[in-house]
Amino acid sequence: SVALSVLPSFGFLFDIDGVLVRGKTPIPAAKTAFQKLVNSQGQFVVPVVFVTNAGNCLRQEKADQLSQLLGVPDQVMMSHSPLRMFKRYHDKCVLVSGQGPLLDIAQDLGFGQPITIETLREKHPLLDVVDHDRRPDVLVTVILFGEPVRWETNLQLIIDVLLTSGYPGNPYHHENYPHIPVLACNMDLMWVAEAQSPRFGHGTFMVCLENIYKKITGKDLKYEALMGKPSKVTYQYAEYLIRAQAAERQWQHPIHTLYAVGDNLMTDVYGANLYNRYLEENSRQASAAAAHCRSVLVCTGVYNPHTEVPLDTRASIAETVFHGHRDFRFEPGLVEPDHIVPDVDAAVDLVFQLENFAPN
């Protein structure tokens, strides 16, 4: 028999909606799962990060909400959390688009001079190239946090900023290419509202922006970084948080495997498999990185095993409905989960078994 390990050499990346909660209701299996994952001192027995594609609220707000519903320690990562790593823009004047407490979110992430679309719109009639007191600072970056409320205003002003190299109000210059950096969070084309047909997500807004930019300039809009599942940056940052937790708890074992537990083939499974491939291809260079990222699909959210089609036809169907972003080429192999389980409790049992792990 294999000796059971009491120190974890793996970590969990949990999606939230459809895995742990539905709307504001906890999924019963989540409570059972966390009885195994949290010790009597209220600490995780393995490193855990909650990875959500939500981005229009403060991280702390989401963490508090999850803590109230499930009584778990705060380890929430939003789609915009990796922006903390983009320190080179933190002291620059950046334009932020989305909804919710945008300035608070941007400042919480380290940005010292964020300007909202609303502020820019108010200044727009006053843009005066001669009067330097009335001219806003040059904008060096555009950050797309999530779908905004007034799409036409946001699209117009973001295009203004891109085509004037950060000096909206000046004439357009098509030769300014590549344009100033654009950082985008959450590429979900649609999101499923409760008891309604799917609603346009931030990915749909980005499709509009990309197409308008291309129509005007004949060139592709380029992103300096795309954040949120299924992007590599998101999993890199999540892995960094997993390692930080292990170090803080003085768990000496190197983190070898990440288990990404989610309910969505196109974000959770695709993203985990994409990151796994990246880890395997770069295993020789990055000795500090994990060796694997395994995808575990649960059946409590958008994935329904009863409506699923056989594997051979799934790939062709998935390609036609793949709501991935323009920059993520659809690859059928990447939507095949490593494991399918009924719920998050079964996922925890499976991983403990695979890892021969028994918390002391």
State the pTM of this model: 0.90
Determine the topology of domain 10-79+230-355 in CATH. Rossmann fold (3.40.50)
The rounded distance, in Å, linking the Cα atoms of 185 and 333 is 25
What was the pLDDT predicted at 321? 47
Q: What is the pLDDT of residue 138?
A: 87
**Burial (CB count <10 Å: 0-12, 13-18, 19+), residue 85:** middle
CATH topology of domain 82-226: Rossmann fold (3.40.50)
Domain with CATH 3.40.50.1000 in the chain: 10-79+230-355, 82-226
Spans in the chain with pLDDT lower than 50: 126-130, 317, 320-321
Contact 94, 143 (CB under 8 A): yes
pLDDT tens digits for range 40-85: 999 999 999 999 998 889 999 999 999 999 999 999 999 999 999 9
Contacts of 289 (CB under 8 A, 6+ apart): 239, 279, 282, 283
